[in-house]
Structure 1
Amino acid sequence: MRKPLTDSVRSLVLILLPILLAACQTMPAPKGFTPAQVATLKAEGFVETGDGWALTINERLLFATNESALKPEQITILETTAKNLVSVGILTARVEGHTDSTGTAAYNQTLSKARAQSVARALQTSGMRFDADQIIGRGETIPLSPNDTAEGRQDNRRVVVIVTPPG
């Protein structure tokens, strides 16, 4: 004949054992960005898109016609942005350069890549790292605005920085 206490202990062990074993399992890494990373992306002007988080198009990433060099104030802003991203563990991004439709497609492809490289260099000085395939020239293939006005062409002379979560 079993004692009631022994039966109670046995039942408790049978209930707790699966719970303890489940707690010992390795949990998969969380997908997406942490709340701190999302807050930093938003503070730096990134917006969530279907392709990740993209730095919004504004004066800091627009270029003059036939130019790929950044102004000193643009470099300073990008360096600060990179420091803030690195501080929350965002260490890399995709950098896409674009042009308007002025000039040949081959010239615009080269110019757009040079623009992307300029932005990537500024971000690298503050700790971000890029593989060659993350610095992309898109040429005139993805316009934001029609190229038939000066304003539209200005919108299209840009670089977009796109951050996606690891994994």
Structure 2
Amino acid sequence: MPALRTALACVALVAAAGGVTAGPAQAAPLWSGRYTVVTYASEKIGTSVAARQPEPDFSAQYTFSTSCTSTCVAVAGDGPAPTNPTIPQPSRYTWDGKQWVFNYTWQWECFRGSDVPSEYAAARSLVFYAPAPDGTMYGTWRTEILEGLCRGTVIMPVAAYPA
């Protein structure tokens, strides 16, 4: 689980260094430009049976733009749509004073076997990215699957690298 250790170490480093200080919305670091976003699905953990199902890592490139009024929001655009159409689009991350956060509800596609139709179950996710000094973002995608065979949690490390 090297990516998980790296992500957690970087988040800890940012936190230990005091992170980015909270203050006016304009004090948030801009998340702007082209980024390669990686989800380390091969390193997922959790209580759901889905956390134990093998899955490859996946990545895509997006262009982020940040706008600030009373809060700062970074929007991921100009990238591929998710394979699951119930994930809200575009992804909108809100600055909470330390990290970019995306909180949403959707339908988890629970794989039940190669010859069995997938089961869709209500889920809620919390994704966060904490900025590192080099412009990279590290964080976690935590999903709580609320019902069905896959009920439980799935937690995956994530990162966003300037492209």
The answer to whether TM tops 0.5 is no
Could you tell me the TM-score, scaled by structure 2's length?
0.27
Bigger share in strand = 2
Could you tell me the TM-score, scaled by structure 1's length?
0.27
Bigger share in helix = 1
Larger Rg: 1
